[in-house]
Amino acid sequence: MAKRAVVERPPRPGKTAVIANAPDDPHAKRIAWRLGDADLNGQWSWVAMEDHHFILVMRFMAEMDKLTWAEASQGYDARCKAIGPSGTCTEARARLVELQRDDEDSIVEFRLGGTERLWGFQRGSVCHVLWWDPGHTVWPTAKKHT
């Protein structure tokens, strides 16, 4: 039996259309990057990054900017998540004070794989990159990473 085309019709009385993300919602927009706030000193400095990590991070950022914030943060295996700075280690909180960024409501963690993490702040659809954390030390967990 052949399928019949569904003809569009107006919603039934009492029903309204639902939009998952409003067009001006930053989570509906693709991730963009800003590097001007990158920490160039401290424990998670970009200056100390090894060459092979630099290539890894650039590839990751190129991959992520094809996704919206919502796409990157959904599901069990999400690539990014926002956490409160109080969830970070003591050294990270102290560094945020030094950088005068301790007033931030949340900090975003991007998981590259294994223990490698990229940290920043979300402003609209832009991630203001802050730290490179190759050892998963900013927000350590009890889970072993391979």
User: What is the per-residue pLDDT across 51-71, written as a single tens digit (0 to 9) for each?
Assistant: 999 999 999 999 999 999 999
Domain ranges of the chain: 29-133
* Burial label, 26 (beta-carbon count in 10 A; 0-12, 13-18, 19+): middle
Distance CA(94)–CA(20), nearest Å, equals 38
- Written as one letter, the residue type at 141 is T
Proportion of the chain above pLDDT 70, given as a percent:
81
Alpha-carbon distance of 54 to 134, in angstroms, equals: 11
For residue 101, the model assigns a pLDDT of 93
The parts of the chain modelled with pLDDT lower than 70 are 1-23, 142-146
Quick check: helix, strand or coil at residue 133? strand
pTM comes to 0.79
CB 136 within 8 Å of CB 42:
no
- pLDDT for 28 equals 86
User: Rounded to 5 degrees, what are φ and ψ at 64?
Assistant: -70, -30
* Cα of 42 vs its chain's centroid, Å: 21
Q: What is the pLDDT of residues 92-109, one digit of tens each?
A: 999 999 999 999 999 999
What end-to-end distance do the CA atoms of the chain give, in Å? 52
Q: What is the pLDDT of residue 138?
A: 96
Structure-token pair, residue 125: 């659809």
The confidence score (pLDDT) of residue 141 equals 76
The stretches of the chain forming alpha helices (DSSP H) are 51-64, 69-72, 90-98
Q: What is the CA radius of gyration of the chain?
A: 20
pLDDT at 103: 92
- Under CATH, what is the fold of the domain 29-133? YaeB-like fold (3.30.2310)
Residue 1: per-residue pLDDT: 58
